Structure 1
Amino acid sequence: MRLALGIEYDGSAFAGWQWQPDKRTVQATLDAALGRVADREVKAVCAGRTDAGVHALEQVVHFDPEVQRKPYSWLMGTNTVLPEDVRVLWVREVAEDFHARYSAIARYYRYVILNRPMKSALHRRQMTWHFAPLDVEAMHTAAQYLIGDHDFSSFRAQGCQSKSPHRYMHFIHVRREEADRVVIELCANAFLHHMVRNIAGVLIEIGSGKRPPRWAAEVLAARDRAQGGVTAPADGLYLGGICYPEAFGIVRHPIFQHLPAHASRYTPDRE
């Protein structure tokens, strides 16, 4: 039997998803909680690793339990022993060929910017603060240059271990959600290390009026990280959801209704 779980977490106090010695990580925290319920060691596989300080609205993981429990028992039992900054949202039995990472056909991220003169006392770890007014229309125009199949070398971290810099960007939406809040929504078949934060850094530069929208296309064409500007902070970044083929029966986030019909052709890499 294979189980899939939807996980929500506040990444502020974590050193990222992946297990690291002597550091608090989401993976180690979740595995320990699942192990308590299973009464044996559990190792869950995630859809996409997140960095230190990055949050998740719906990370997806899978694991193969060696003991029989009802999905509700896994859900409630695991949440009982998890700390307050991690929650299991749902648990479902899935086909044995389901893989949280390799079965995904798209990933969705949100980047949230608090755009006002003063920092927030309440959301200082949940949003990136930018004091100068941002031109949302210029940011959205710039983002459209990144849509499609491209070499995103200019937007990958220098230490990125991906074998290929090519990714298919399905869409990027930039909008002002509230008077003082700007949201960047991105959906691609997969993302490179720091790719979203580097794109956000370029768009913020453009929104600040320091660069024209066309600069995004120039950075992309350069295929050189040195040309890509500043990496935006992790605080405002959220893994928003994972899209799987309908056959697996995992409910999709509403944002995926914007996916083009050909999205399933861009299968994720198996690095």
Structure 2
Amino acid sequence: MRNLLMKVNYDGTTYDGFQTQPQGNTIQDRLEEAILHLTGEDLKIHASGRTDAGVHAYGQPFNFITSSQIPLERWCLALNARLPQDIVVTEAREVPLSFHSRRSAKRKTYRYTINANQFPDPFQRRWQLHHPGILDVSAMQQGLTHLLGTHDFTSFASRHSTKTSHVRTIYEAHMEVDTSMCRPNPRDQGVIHVFITGSGFLQHMVRIIMGTLINVGQGKCPADKVAHILAACDRGAAGPTAVANGLTLWSVEYEEADYKKAD
């Protein structure tokens, strides 16, 4: 038996998230169907985490146990030939049987993208929240800093969260502004990318953080209030849940020793 670790990119626009659902329209469903068609094995894959409906991923890891002896270098092409065009497997490697994509993960990074130009970009609209109004980006950056460290993130978790603990650690958080598509017009502020790296994330956590930061950028609350929202441990204290299409699972990191297969 072999434990294979793969990475997949996907545009989540038309899917009901990563994890399998009764209606069968998820990334997991498509991947498992492709593996079945390729190997004849009806198996379950293990992903590094869930993504909500409409959320995207760039290099999301998943692993599965297989008896197939297909060479590693053939897996990506073979699966991609059996997958929709908006799901692409990009890497495959063999890892120890003890490796688990979710339990072995050490750090995860999400990126949220806001198009702060006056007009939407028709080519990137599936991957961006369009916000044509002026945002105070400096205030948003200041608000973001209050989330660094280990905290109880109940204020930024869905009310439907089933986790027994809402304590998580945010290691890094920063913003990048791409002005390459701006017109010579004061209404254009560029495309804002917010990167948040943590030990793990709660349901809707990044999207609620972004809804709160947008409130800060709009002047609806001061940047320093983010610290008070965090301390309140009350979902009602935070801003709205930002739309899903601006969110991308950007990367998942492991310790090399965890997935290095012994000879």
What letter matches 2:239 in structure 1? G
| 2:205 pairs with 1:195 | yes
Q: Is this contact kept in 1: 2:117–2:132, CA < 8 A?
A: yes
Q: What's the counterpart of residue 244 of structure 2? A: 234
CA distance in 1, matches of 2:15, 2:27: 7
Q: Using the alignment, how far apart are the partners of 1:218 and 1:131 within structure 2?
A: 28
Q: Which amino acid aligns with 2:213?
A: L
Asked if structure 2 preserves the Cα contact closer than 8 Å seen for 1:140 and 1:175, the reply is: no
User: Cα distance, 1:221 vs. partner?
Assistant: 0.7
Supply the distance in 2 between the matched residues of 1:212 and 1:175 (Cα, whole angstroms).
21
For residues 182-261 of structure 1, the aligned pairs below 5 Å read 182-248=192-258
CA drift at 1:218: 1.1
Matched to 2:210, the amino acid is A
- Residue 120 of structure 1, CA deviation: 2.7
How many angstroms apart in 2 are the aligned matches of 1:175 and 1:212?
21
Alpha-carbon distance in structure 1 between the residues aligned to 2:154 and 2:256: 32
Q: For the aligned residues, what is the CA RMSD?
A: 1.2
Tell me, yes or no, if the aligned pair for 1:37 and 1:74 is still in contact at 8 Å. no
For residues 86 and 48 of structure 2, what CA distance do their matches in structure 1 show? 19
TM-score (norm 1): 0.89
Q: TM-score with structure 2 length normalisation? A: 0.92
1:249 is displaced (CA, Å) by 5.3
Q: Give the length in aligned residue pairs.
A: 250
Query: Aligned letter for 2:114?
Result: I
Q: State the partner residue of 1:36.
A: 37
For the pair shown, the structure with the greater C-alpha radius of gyration is: 2
> Any idea what SS the aligned residue of 2:170 has?
strand
Q: CA deviation at 1:25?
A: 0.5
Q: Which amino acid aligns with 1:147?
A: L
What's the CA shift for 1:35? Answer: 1.3
Instruction: Give the partner amino acid of 1:157.
Output: S
Deviations 1:59-82 (Å, cap 9, x if unpaired)?
Answer: 100000122111122111101100
User: Deviations for 1:51-106, whole angstroms, at most 9, x for unmatched residues?
Assistant: 00000011100000122111122111101100000000100001112110000111
Distance 1:240 1:215 in 2: 28
8 A Cα contact 1:109 1:237, kept in partner? yes
- Does 2:133 align with 1:123? no
**Which residues of 2 match residues 55-70 of structure 1 at below 5 A?**
55-70=56-71
Q: CA deviation at 1:177?
A: 2.4
Write the distance in 2 (CA, Å) between the matches of 1:194 and 1:124.
21
Aligned partner of 1:212: which letter?
A: P
- Kept in 1: contact 2:109–2:197 (CA 8 A): yes
- Give the Cα separation in 1 of the matches to 2:38 and 2:13: 26
For residues 206 and 24 of structure 2, the distance between their equivalents in structure 1, rounded to whole angstroms, comes to: 24
1 CA distance for matches of 2:259 and 2:137?
Answer: 36
Moved more, 164-173 or 32-41: 32-41
Query: Partners of 1:45 and 1:194 in 2: how far apart?
Result: 20
2:256 maps to amino acid: E
Question: SS of the residue aligned with 1:110?
Answer: strand
TM-superposed deviation, 1:17: 0.7
Asked if 2 retains the 8 angstrom alpha-carbon contact of 1:136 and 1:176, the reply is no
Q: Secondary structure at the match of 2:207?
A: helix
Q: Is the 1:10–1:54 Cα contact (8 Å) retained in structure 2?
A: yes
**For structure 2, which runs of at least 5 residues remain unmatched after alignment?**
183-189
Residue segments in structure 1 that go unaligned for 5+ positions in a row: 251-271
SS of aligned partner of 1:235: helix
Q: Is the 8 A contact 1:8 1:59 kept in 2?
A: yes
Per the alignment, residue 145 of structure 1 pairs with 146
For 1:112 and 1:211, the matched residues in 2 are separated by 21
